[in-house]
Structure 1
């Protein structure tokens, strides 16, 4: 939307880690709503994405010996 591609420099599945990185830097994070602890990071601003519908990639993590059947 800004005319350039986003540069992804870090990925985390821990929302508290993502909030701490954003609070300590000049980056942004895409996170599901209601996953940020605003008590520990009162300076963060939550802004809804309204111009497009973001997709979601879901992965399944499993041990190799259990992945023979349907997931």
Structure 2
């Protein structure tokens, strides 16, 4: 049976990497949204902003889960 703390560390580390990827995706979507807004595609830019809001909400939940795992 694997050591629970080792397993928790591995899980938290993997989630942290996924969180970093999520932040990178949000930054890329934000750049595209700004470009779309400047190009006159306001509806599409608004959709991109809504996607970023979802990423932000989920990032908070992932961060909370990482903290709980690291504290256990």
Shorter-chain-normalised TM-score: which range? under 0.3
Q: TM-score, normalised by structure 1?
A: 0.24
- Bigger helix share: 2
Task: Give the TM-score taking structure 2 as reference length.
Answer: 0.24
